[in-house]
Amino acid sequence: MTVKKEKISLRLMMLVAMPDMDPSIRGLFQQEGISVYYRFNAEGTASSRILKTLGLDSSDRILYCSYLTGRKAHVLMRKIRLRLHMGKGANGIACTVPLDAASQSMLKIARQMDPTSLNNIQVHSSQKEKESMNAEHSLIVSITNRGYIQDVVQTARQAGAHGGTVLHSFRVSDQSMTAIFGLDPEEEKEVLMMIVAADRKNDILLAISSAFGMSTPAKGLVFSMPVDETSGYEEYEEIE
């Protein structure tokens, strides 16, 4: 018997807010079942004059990221607007970005946070999203435990990638994800971002996922999202 796979869309949700909003954001995520997310320390770029006008005494920010099904992302964005009052004053900003590929572990975790999804799922983009996706480049994001980033970079290069940018983050997971996927409640992670040519994307995703996936000590996840335009990447290709 053929098992039918549900085609779902995946989103990367990004939220930037003031540090004093951290308890409210964590509380909202907990209530909405967002049981895995990443937390980055960041800095705003507003001038001192603008900060003073807004009544702010610091440019410190926190960036939160999570990967969700399209349905779950839509529901969460609505709750963010209503509960956190995003867009009013200087509370912060949130957005979602469609993903065009993701590892199976990411699909399983996203499905776990959205009980309406079926067991057998695969990444799917709407026709409108497909039309907006540039066919030439993608942004690949790899997230692994600390200490593996140089090996990930080397593996990506061997599969056809150029250089990338490394970020440091903490992943926050609740007890349900610890029990199901073996994720630590709070763990330091290393994030590698790379712009790659479309014809190399799948090879790079497969190489990273195979060598540093959730079944390995690196406990890695990897996904990609479409890139509309690039500047500077062409020079890398010309050097080769």
Q: pLDDT (tens digit, 9 = 90+) per residue, 164-185? A: 888 889 888 877 676 666 667 6
pTM over 0.85: no
* Residue 96 covered by a domain: yes
Dist CA 51 CA 47 (whole Å)? 6
Query: Smallest Cα–Cα separation from 189: which of 168, 174, 219, 208?
Result: 168
* Residue 238 covered by a domain: no
* Residue 236 covered by a domain: no
* Residue 174 covered by a domain: yes
At 105, the amino acid letter reads S
Contact between 207 and 194 under an 8 Å Cβ cutoff? The reply is no
Per-position DSSP letters for 73-142, written without gaps between them: HHHHHHHHHHHS-TTSTTSEEEEEEE-SEE-HHHHHHHHHT-TTS-SSEEE---HHHHHHS-SSEEEEEE
Residue 199: how many other CB atoms lie within 10 Å: 10
Is pLDDT larger for residue 55 or for residue 176?
Answer: 176
| Number of domains within the chain | 1
Would you state the pLDDT for residue 223? 92
Pick the most confident of 74-88, 176-190, 204-218: 204-218
Would you state the pLDDT for residue 61? 82
Would you state the pLDDT for residue 9? 81
Range 178-202 average pLDDT: 81
* Residue 144 covered by a domain: yes
- Residue 115 is part of a domain; what is its CATH number? 3.30.70.120
Residue 187: CA count within 13 A, CB half-sphere? 20
Residue 71 backbone dihedrals phi, psi, to 5 degrees:
-65, -45
- Structural domain boundaries enclosing 178: 6-229
Q: Give 89's pLDDT tier (boundaries 50, 70, 90).
A: low
Query: Smallest Cα–Cα separation from 227: which of 167, 141, 124, 107?
Result: 141
* Residue 211 covered by a domain: yes
Q: Give 232's pLDDT tier (boundaries 50, 70, 90).
A: low
Helix (H, G, I), strand (E, B) or coil at 187: strand
